[in-house]
């Protein structure tokens, strides 16, 4: 049960912490994270040159994500597919944690859903009304 719940909690914490970053910086940082996520499996080389091709695709997605939040969501979903493939192959994201790719495959779609909504902050800071 914990292997299903923890990735969702990690995604919620990720979303909450991201909400503290003001726009447009939040979008730019998340685009950079997608670019980095594309290279997380390169060192394992489990899929050979396909690892590099995937990184190139993720870099392009990250570029579009600099201006369009849904592109970042697409990037997280692409990374989910890559996580599932690596989990099925037995080549986890973190070699010492067998289910790390599995957990990432659960966490990433939650983050993707948040990105598809525009990456809005979950924090509602109430500002005092300004009287003119």
Mean local confidence (pLDDT), 92-96: 72
pLDDT band at 130 (very low <50, low <70, confident <90, very high): low
pLDDT band at 29 (very low <50, low <70, confident <90, very high): very high
11 confidence band (pLDDT: 50, 70, 90) = very high
CA dist list (Å): 67 to 70, 74, 95, 96: 9, 13, 34, 36
- To the question of pTM greater than 0.75 for the whole model, the response is yes
> How far is the C-alpha of 94 from the C-alpha of 97, rounded, in Å?
5
Residue 41: closest CA among 77, 106, 112, 94:
94
Residue of 103, 52, 109 lying closest to 79 (CA atoms):
109
Q: What is the pLDDT of residue 59?
A: 95
Q: Tell me the domain boundaries of the chain.
A: 2-116
Question: What's the CA gap between 103 and 25, in Å, rounded?
Answer: 27
Average of per-residue pLDDT values in the chain: 88
């Amino acid at each position: 049960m914990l292997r299903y719940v923890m990735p969702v909690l990690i995604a919620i914490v990720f979303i909450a912490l991201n909400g503290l970053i003001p726009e447009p910086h939040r979008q730019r940082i998340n685009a950079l994270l997608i670019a980095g996520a594309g290279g997380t499996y390169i060192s394992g080389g489990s899929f050979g040159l396909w690892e590099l091709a995937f990184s190139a695709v993720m870099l392009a997605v990250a570029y579009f994500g600099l201006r369009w939040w849904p592109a970042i969501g697409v990037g997280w979903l692409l990374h989910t597919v890559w996580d599932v493939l690596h989990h099925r192959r037995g080549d986890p994201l973190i070699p010492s944690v067998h289910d790390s790719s599995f957990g990432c495959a659960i966490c990433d779609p939650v983050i993707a859903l948040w990105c598809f909504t525009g990456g809005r902050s979950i924090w509602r800071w109430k500002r005092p009304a300004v009287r003119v």
